[in-house]
Structures are given as structure tokens and as C-alpha cells.
Chain A
């Protein structure tokens, strides 16, 4: 099943009297459980593509379906809900709430969900598990300013995964990290992709990423110019025969491929 379906996506930005064509008719389908890397030079449209998938930006033309829901014409409130319930974000610059400690930062999206079936204890337990998963159990009471860049990015990953989203989008998650830390972050993301069966879509300049990605999408001048690696990933997944929980409270979903 395709978790992301994009058809003829165009995105134009007015810049004074000229119009910048950031995306020029992109078609893209992503199956559940993939670990997709979008690569391309600066200004090629990677971030714009991620923003549209993540309901942060809207397309000028074309249609987008996220988890079978057409988001093309949704209002701000509904787009926000999709971001909350279906998509997790990892930003280049970590973007944690500076006044909350690590645990509170990770709890934050769960508190926004206002799901009555989640008690305060459930929320805390879920947040603690995610923090434990990213290896920061001993830093729960620390504020973002007290953590290193790598640690902050781990917190961002934990926060992105805490709501058990169907998709996690990461815009150059290793760009501000040293190579060793960046590699560790990628390993962690890959591990979570496999254990939590979450679809990861991330943009990067890092050539090392290619060894982790199930598919690499190369984008240039607002158009997809190359797709590679889907078969490898698909075979690998089928061989491993993994499955993982779905939805906020659990469940399962079939393995996917690109």
C-alpha cells in the first residue's frame, strides 16, 4: 500500500516579479515501511517536496495523498491534525522547545493529541520508552541547551516517533552533526525504521546515507531525475519478514516497498 501518493506536483514561489518553479510536476509513490532518501543539489526542491508531504506547505498544482487521505484541499486545522497524528518531523536544526526538558519535549506531541484513552502515566511511559530507544535515558531532566547536537537530534527523533506516526520526515538530519554522530543518527533512524516499521523519508547531501536507504530519489531543478534501490530494499524486507505495530496505540500493517 502506498503511504504517499503525489501526482503532478508543482510548486511555484513568487519572487518579486518573477516566479520560481520549485517543483515542476513531480509524481511520487512511497510504500509503507520504506527508508527513502531524497538527494540533490541545493535549491533542487528537496525541502519543498518534504514540506508538501509533511503538510507544512501546499502544492500550487497537483494532488497529494497521505495514508489514503487527499490533503490537497484541506484547511490549516486538518493539515495540522495530519502533522500531529500521521507525520513525525526531524529538522536540521533540532528545534526543541527550549523551556522544556528532554522528557517534556518528547511528551509534547502526545499532550497535543488530547487522546483521552491515554492517561498521564501512559504518556510518560511512552515518552520514556522513546527516549530509552534513542539512548538518552540518563538525560530526561536535561534541557535542550544542556545537550550536545547529536543528543538533541536524538531527542527530535524520539519526539517524531512518540506518536507512532506512519511517516517520519527528516530534512537533512545530519547536516549539523559531525560525521560520526551523523552516522550514528542514521543508524538509529534505520533501526527504528525496521523495528517500528515507520516510513522514513529524508533529504540529505551525505553520500554515506545511500548504504542505508531502501530507495534513493534524485531530484534536480524541481523534477525527479532518478530513482534507485527499491528492489533491493523490497527483497531485503521480504527476506527478513518483519512486521511492526501501527497507529498511535499499536496494531500492525503489511510490509511495503517503493
Chain B
């Protein structure tokens, strides 16, 4: 063993009390830091995997007219611009071998109309539901009723939405023809079961900035909940894409089947449509008193041939990559290809698309990091103070070393070696204990429905975890703390002269 480690190690043993104080601080700091890193890492991983795998994919394609990238949790349910020319996007996506799968959807805020005048609202995703479930790992779970099939019309109300609608508008939604499942009724409502206002359908009106929406009666097909992150997604109900398009006045697949003659096309393209409705064009209708058979008329609306659902409009395309770690490069390539194909769309990352949620995760990380930093700050102060005191108590010893020819650098190395050894032993033990604690917490399988904890856990189950890189970061943090805490005491020790030792004696 070299002379520096030898002196350092023996000094640690000689000054056991101080070594222990510094060691315990480093141990606790490293322990808390490692657990904190594990929680943060687990939260990020949980959020990333849950959101990417079960809600958005890694990439979301939006209209190039869309100003903000945040399209999922838009403030006040703000409109998401309609994507035009989905066929071009589809072609680009199909040609990319790094894409695992993709699915188009539409997202919007619908008003819920009620004959008593109360207005409610619900965020709605318009999708082909079977495709949606396949894409997002069957994250939607049935509570009551039935799932939608791809060509079914109807809406799946999230149980969170049902409760909110009940609280705000006073009616209890149930799937058509299924009646009330009393197990899911709030206990106090169960007592008033007979007077409960039960409904099997909703009248929705797509909310849009252009006032181009219309009201639409939609049957409730099922009541659902999200297996993961239900706390955050519970405001989203899911409806079939064609109903969505009708509610929001998007171009529907049925619309695309309508052939317009060239004369009618000219009229539609005319600048002054009011001229078409001049007095001379109004003719009094002659009625015969015979009533139309309304069911016959509805029947005529039924499209006989199978719809190409993709010929209608969407507002989002969720894209899953084969390699979730290639988001950046894939985004770059996709945007270049979309541009080259003349698609009026751009690709954004899932983080940008979920906006607030990713921001909240960052805030949580910031808070946790701040907490760890605070611990470190306190640790640095205590260690710095203890080491400085130790340096001053050893003026004779250090001064004598300097007198017999030890350079300042030798003293610095000796002092640093002492701190480094304590840091290695106690900090290392703290990191190992932290790894053990994180592993133990993972095994405990802690679950929660609490809004804040769900975010902290990155899902409903607490899954803290440490990667090699997290441990490496922990070690770097420990080394940094040790280095910072040693700077001032080193300065003190280096500043001790032989004369100080003589004067002390």
C-alpha cells in the first residue's frame, strides 16, 4: 500500500467518530439518492411505457396546420386540426420498415346536450375500436355492456366520465338494453334507485371553433375503464369514427361515396350562393296530406356497399415503432418523407403530443431531484464542516509533514484519499442498500388509484427500477458530492504551513 492510502486509512480508523459522522451522512445520502433515482426512473419508465404502449405510440402525426404539438391534453379541449389527405400519410407510413403499426383517430371535445338545458362535456376519441384495442394492448377494459366492433355505431363511456356526467347532469348512463348494474352505482344512489334517471344514449354535439358541428344521438354501447393510467385518461370516451365525424362535421366515409355532378359542383363553388335563393326560386309546396314513411327515408340513407373508412377525415395518427429507442431518428425521417410526399402533416413525439402529462412527469422529476439535491446540499455542508474541523485539529501533524518536505499536493491527496475512502465504503454501502430497497419496493407490488401517486408511480403499480445508467448516475452524484464537500477542507489543509504547526505547539 502506498504511503498516502496507508496514512489515510489509518487516520480514518484513528478518527473513528468523525469518520462515522461523515460516513453515515454519505450512507444516508447515497441511500436516499438511489431510492429517489429508482422511483424517478420507474416513474419515467412507467409513464413512457404506459403512454407509448397504451395510448399514443411513440410518434403522433398531426396536421401541418396544427400550431401546437400538444394534441392530447389540449387546454380546454381546444380543437385539433383535421388531417387532410390521409391516403398520402398512410402510404408513407406503410413504406417505413421501422414502423411496427399505426392507426388513425380523431380527437375532440363534445358537448353533452340535455333537455333540461344543462350542458356537459366529454373528451372523445373517434376510432375503429377493434383496431384501437389491438394497437394499444387491450388497455380498454369493459365494466358494463359490450365493446364496439369496428363497424359498430356507438360510444364507450369511461366510468370516470359516467360519474362526472352523473354529478354534473344528474343522469346515470348504462349500455343500451343492459339496465342498471347496481354494483357500480354509488352507494347513496342505490338508496334512491327508483328515482334514478337512467339513460342509454347521449346527444352529443362536437365542439369546434368553426361552429361546424352538429348534434348527434349516440347509443351507449359499453362502460369502460383504462387498465393503465385510468386517472389521466378517464375523461376520454371512445366512439366509432363515423359517429365522431358526423358530430364534428368531418368528411365521413359515406360523404366520400357521394358523387356530385359537374353542374352542382359549379354551384357549390359559386362565390355568391345567396343568389341561388332569390324570391323567384321559392315556390309554395303543395301538400297532399299523405305522411312520409320516415323509416323508409332512413332506410335510403343506409349505404349498401362497404365503406372505406379511411376515405373520411381524421385528426391524429398514432404510430408505434419497432424500436422505441429510435424516436428521434424516426421523427426526422418521417417528417422528411411526409414532406416529400406532399402530405399536409407532421410527426411529433409522444412527449410533445401529451404535453401536460409529460410536463407533469418532468415536474415530478424536478421535485424529486430537488429533494435529492437538498439532501446533498445539507450533506455537503455537514461533511465540509466536519472535514474542515478535522483539518484544523491536525495542524501539528500536517504542518510537520510540510516541514519535513511534503508538498501541498501531498497533503491534498492524503486528505482527499481519506474522504474518498469514507465515500467509497459508506456511499457504496448506501448505493447497494438503495438498490436492495428499490428491488424490495418493486417486489411489494404497491398499487394506487391516487391521482398524484399514479403519476409518481408512472402507472397504477409502483414499479421503481434502476438501470445500469441510474446506478452510474448515482455513483457520479456521490463522487460529485464528495469532491464538492472536500474542496474547502482541502484548501484549509493545503493552507497549513509548518509555521502554523510550530506556533500551535
Q: Which of A21-29, A84-92, A177-185, A235-243 contacts B (4 or more CB under 8 A)?
A: A84-92
Is the pair B502, A97 in contact by a Cβ cutoff of 8 Å?
no
**Whose C-beta in chain A lies nearest to the C-beta of B405?**
A84
- Chain A residues near B502: list those with CB within 8 A: 47, 51, 56, 91, 171
Report the contact-size class of chain B (Cβ under 8 Å from the partner): 20 to 34
Q: CB < 8 Å: which of A56, A91, A100, A112 contacts B410?
A: A112
B101 to chain A, nearest CB (A): 67
CA distance A111 to B5 in the complex (A): 13
Chain B residue with minimal CB distance to A113?
A: B405
Question: Would you call B404 and A89 a contact (CB within 8 A)?
Answer: yes
How many A-B residue pairs have C-beta atoms within 8 angstroms? Tell me.
78
Distance of A84 Cα from B410 Cα, bound (Å): 13
Q: Are A83 and B410 in contact (CB under 8 A)?
A: no
Across-interface contacts of B403 in A (CB, < 8 A):
54, 56, 83, 89, 91, 95
Q: Which residue of A lies closest to B505 (CB)?
A: A93
22 pairs, A vs B, C-beta closer than 8 Å: A51-B498, A51-B499, A56-B403, A77-B408, A80-B405, A83-B403, A84-B405, A85-B405, A89-B404, A92-B505, A95-B505, A97-B400, A97-B401, A99-B11, A100-B6, A104-B3, A108-B3, A109-B404, A109-B405, A159-B404, A160-B404, A171-B502
Nearest CB in chain A: distance from B459 CB, A: 53
Is B7 an interface residue when CB atoms closer than 8 A count as contact? yes
Query: Cβ of A112 and Cβ of B499 under 8 Å apart?
Result: no
Whether, in the assembled complex, B133 has its beta carbon less than 8 Å from a beta carbon of chain A, the answer is no
Q: Is the CB of A112 within 8 A of B404?
A: yes
Given the complex, which residues of B lie within 8 Å of A60, measured CB to CB?
Answer: none
Expressed in whole angstroms, the Cα–Cα distance for A159 and B407 within the complex equals: 17
Is the pair B404, A108 in contact by a Cβ cutoff of 8 Å?
yes
Q: Given A56-B502, A108-B3, do A100 and B405 touch, yes or no (CB 8 Å)? A: no
Chain B 1-37 per-residue mask, 1 if CB under 8 angstroms from chain A, else 0: 0010011001101100000000000000000000000
Q: Are B396 and A104 in contact (CB under 8 A)?
A: no
Which B residues touch A108, using CB under 8 A? 3, 401, 404
- Determine whether B501 belongs to the interface, using a CB cutoff of 8 Å to chain A: yes
Query: Could you say which residues of chain B place their CB within 8 Å of the CB of A85?
Result: 405
**In whole Å, how far is B31's beta carbon from the nearest beta carbon of chain A?**
30
The answer to whether B406 and A112 touch across the interface, beta carbons within 8 angstroms, is: yes
A interface residues, tally (CB under 8 Å): 33
- List which B308-324 residues lie within 8 A (CB) of chain A: none
Return the chain A residue nearest B4 by Cβ.
A111
Per the 8 Å Cβ criterion, residues 391-428 of B in contact with A are 396-397, 399-408, 410
B497 at the A interface (CB under 8 A): yes
User: Given A80-B407, A85-B405, A100 and B499 touching (CB < 8 A)?
Assistant: no
Interface string of B39-55 (1 = CB under 8 A from A): 00000000000000000
Question: Are A95 and B501 closer than 8 Å at their CB atoms?
Answer: yes
When the two chains form their complex, are residues B405 and A112 in contact, meaning their CB atoms are under 8 A apart?
yes
Q: Which 5 pairs between the two chains have the least Cβ-Cβ distance?
A: A84-B405, A99-B10, A95-B400, A56-B498, A93-B505
Residue A141 CB within 8 A of the other chain: no
Question: Which one of B7, B407, B408 contacts A97 once the chains associate, using CB atoms below 8 Å?
Answer: B7
Nearest CB of A to B250, in Å: 80
For residue A163, which residues in chain B have a CB less than 8 angstroms away from its CB?
Answer: 405
Q: Are B405 and A104 in contact (CB under 8 A)?
A: no
Q: Find chain A residues with CB under 8 A from B7 CB.
A: 97, 99-100
A17 within 8 A of B: no
Within 8 A of A (CB), among B236-278: none
Given A76-B408, A80-B402, also A111-B497 (CB < 8 A): no
- Tell me the bound Cα distance from A81 to B406 in angstroms: 8
Contacts of B396 in A (CB 8 A): 93, 95
